[in-house]
Amino acid sequence: MAMRQFLVRRLLQGILVIWGVVTVLFGLRAVSPGDPATLMLGEGANRELVERVREEEGLNEPIYVQYLDYVGGLLQGDLGYSWQSNRDVTAMVIERIPATIELTIAATIVAIVIAIPLGVVSATRRNEPSDYGATLFSLLGISTPNFWLGLMLILVMSVWFGIPYPTMSTAAVPVGAVRIPYPSHIGYDFYGFPTGRRGVGFPDAMRALVYDQSVSELGAWLRYITLPALTLGTYFTALITRLTRSGMIDELGKPYVTATKAKGLPNPLIRYKHVLRNTMIPIITVLGLQMGTLMGGAVITETVFNWPGLGLRLVDALRIRDWPLMQGIIIFIAFAFIVINIVVDALYTKLNPQVSAE
Q: Is the dihedral of CA 202, 206, 209, 212 positive or negative?
A: negative
Q: Is 154 in the site for another protein (CB under 8 A)?
A: yes
Task: Answer yes or no whether residue 261 interacts with another protein by CB under 8 A.
Answer: yes
Indicate which single residue of 37, 89, 295, 325 sits in contact with another protein (rule: CB under 8 A): 295
Q: From the list 47, 129, 162, 177, which residue makes contact with another protein (rule: CB under 8 A)?
A: 177
Tell me how far, at minimum, the Cβ of 216 lies from another protein, in Å: 27
Judged by CB under 8 A, the chain residues 214 through 243 that form the site for another protein are 239, 242-243
When binding is defined by CB under 8 A, the residue of 7, 18, 157, 218 that contacts another protein is 18
Measured from the CB atom, the residue of 49 and 159 that comes closer to another protein is 159
What's the CA gap between 336 and 24, in Å, rounded? 17
Q: For residue 160, how many other CB atoms are within 10 A of its CB?
A: 8
Q: Does the footprint of another protein cover residue 299 (CB under 8 A)? A: yes
CB 287 within 8 A of CB 344: yes
Residue numbers 64-93 binding another protein by CB under 8 A: none
Q: Are residues 316 and 274 in contact, defined by beta-carbon separation less than 8 angstroms?
A: no
The nearest distance, CB 15 to another protein, in angstroms, is 11
Ranges of beta strands (E only) in 141-266 are: none
Q: Interface with another protein by CB under 8 A: which range of 71-79, 92-100, 195-203, 326-334?
A: 326-334
Q: What string of H, E and C letters represents the secondary structure of 40-76?
A: HHCCCCCHHHHHHHHHHCCCCCCHHHHHHHHHHHHHC
115 lies in the binding site for another protein (CB under 8 A): no
Contact between 37 and another protein per CB under 8 A: no
Segment interacting with another protein (CB under 8 A) among 35-43, 100-108, 211-219, 265-273:
265-273
Sign of CA dihedral 5, 6, 11, 13: positive
Task: Round to whole Å and give the CA distance between 297 and 292.
Answer: 8
Asked whether position 357 contacts another protein by CB under 8 A, the answer is yes
| 107 part of the interface to another protein, by CB under 8 A | no
Distance CA 101, CA 93 (A): 12
State yes or no: residue 352 binds another protein (CB under 8 A).
yes
- The angle at the Cα of 210, spanning 204 to 215, to the nearest 5 degrees, equals 70
Answer yes or no whether residue 175 interacts with another protein by CB under 8 A.
yes
The torsion defined by the Cα of 94, 99, 105 and 111, in degrees rounded to 10, comes to -140
Residue of the chain from 76, 184, 195, 213 that contacts another protein (CB under 8 A): 184
The CA distance from 222 to 230, in Å, is 12
Binding residue for another protein, selected from 6, 147, 190, 193, defined by CB under 8 A:
147
Under rule CB under 8 A, residue 144 binds another protein: yes
Q: Compare residues 49 and 289 and give the one whose CB is closer to another protein.
A: 289
Q: Of 6, 218, 292, 344, which lies in the binding site for another protein, with binding defined by CB under 8 A?
A: 292
